């Protein structure tokens, strides 16, 4: 009876890169990401079937390693991972039977928004009472508005250039020291409606992606965008580097290096089977 009243939080590894990093620990016994996802999905369903209050959060391998170093905890133990999940102040979501892809995208968007300092407008401002949740406060400067417009334009150009299929966009930006020196990341997963051909986009994730890209543009930060597209049975990866307010296409070799390097250790990662690395395509510079 008490188990039904005890909240449970499960930490999710968001992608195969994070999974590959966690495989360095012998106590982490999974050897394939697809098997890990199936087991995690089964665990969440089993917990929910017991009518327990189940929540999910992200497991960031880099943050986990720093946490263990700070607390003097052996990272190569299941107990350390459980303690990290309980102690960290990352965004959490209530599990209600959602797909793992949806959960991960929403958690990434929430974490990117947290890092970027986004918050809703206060209720005591009558002139802002109809502003949608997530509006930047205080009111954005003209430069920031322009950067947000440019970010939306670039994201639209990426999706138009990618064509039909399912796409996963990840934007990573490192702000200059003068702007706080933070590392911001956001991801957007899109699909398409086979009956209408319209692109299906999660608004919250798209907003977080645009905010991160706009932060890099307005502060002249460093970073870039990776686009992973699934067309029937094939998967293709493109990449771009952020230069001012433009996304400069990476070469095929640069895309391979960026995608097959562990972001936490700098060590090379084995390329994924069936994934083709291609140069980024050019985006229009004219405002639309």
Instruction: Answer yes or no: do 166 and 51 share one domain.
Output: no
Cα(first)–Cα(last) distance of the chain, in Å? 59
Instruction: Answer yes or no: do 83 and 30 share one domain.
Output: yes
Pick from 91, 125, 124: which is nearest to 109 by CA? 91
What's the pLDDT score for residue 11?
Answer: 92
* CA atoms of 44 and 56, how far apart (whole Å): 9
Instruction: Answer yes or no: do 83 and 141 share one domain.
Output: no
Confidence of residue 3 (pLDDT cuts 50, 70, 90): low
Q: Picking from 71-80, 102-111, 119-128, 147-156, which range would have the lowest pLDDT averaged per residue?
A: 119-128
Domain-located, residue 232: yes
Residue with tokens 């995690």: 40
Percent of the chain whose pLDDT exceeds 90 = 20
What's the pLDDT score for residue 264?
Answer: 58
Integer CA distances (angstroms), 142 to 106, 147, 260, in order = 29, 9, 38
Whether 36 shows a pLDDT value over 70: the answer reads: yes
Domain-located, residue 35: yes
Could you tell me the maximum CA-CA distance found in the chain, to the nearest angstrom? 63
Which ranges of the chain does DSSP label H, i.e. alpha helix?
16-22, 33-49, 61-71, 78-87, 100-116, 142-162, 203-219, 252-259
Domain-located, residue 233: yes
**40-62 exposure pattern, b = at least 16 Cβ within 10 A, e = fewer:** beeebeebbeeebebbbbbbbbe
Domain-located, residue 87: yes
The overall average pLDDT reported for the chain is 80
Q: What range does the domain containing 60 cover?
A: 2-98
Confidence of residue 124 (pLDDT cuts 50, 70, 90): very low
Domain-located, residue 116: no
Question: Domain tally for the chain?
Answer: 2
Residue with tokens 């949608």: 132
């Amino acid at each position: 009876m008490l188990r039904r009243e005890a909240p449970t939080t499960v930490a999710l590894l968001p992608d195969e890169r994070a999974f590959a990093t966690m495989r360095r620990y012998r106590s982490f016994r999974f050897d394939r990401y697809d098997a890990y996802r199936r087991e995690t999905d089964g665990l969440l369903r089993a917990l929910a079937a017991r009518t327990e209050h189940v929540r999910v959060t992200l497991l960031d391998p880099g943050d986990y390693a720093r946490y263990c170093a700070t607390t003097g905890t052996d990272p190569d133990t299941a107990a350390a991972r459980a303690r990290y999940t309980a102690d960290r102040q990352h965004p959490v979501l209530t599990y209600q039977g959602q797909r793992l892809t949806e959960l991960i995208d929403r958690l990434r968007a929430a974490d990117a928004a947290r890092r970027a300092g986004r918050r809703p407008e206060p209720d005591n401002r009558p002139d802002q009472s109809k502003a949608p949740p997530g509006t930047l406060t205080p009111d954005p400067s003209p430069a920031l508005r322009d950067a947000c417009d440019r970010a939306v334009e670039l994201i639209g150009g990426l999706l138009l250039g990618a064509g039909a299929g399912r796409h996963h966009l990840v934007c990573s930006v490192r702000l200059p020291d003068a702007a706080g020196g933070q590392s911001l990341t956001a991801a957007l997963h899109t699909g398409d409606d086979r009956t209408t051909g319209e692109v299906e986009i999660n608004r919250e994730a798209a907003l977080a992606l645009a905010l991160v890209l706009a932060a890099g543009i307005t502060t002249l930060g460093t970073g870039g965008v990776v686009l992973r597209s699934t067309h029937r049975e094939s998967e293709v990866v493109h990449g771009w580097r952020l230069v001012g307010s433009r996304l400069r296409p990476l070469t095929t070799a640069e895309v391979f290096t960026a995608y097959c390097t562990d972001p936490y250790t700098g060590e090379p990662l084995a390329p994924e089977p069936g994934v083709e690395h291609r140069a980024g395509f050019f985006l229009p510079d004219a405002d639309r």
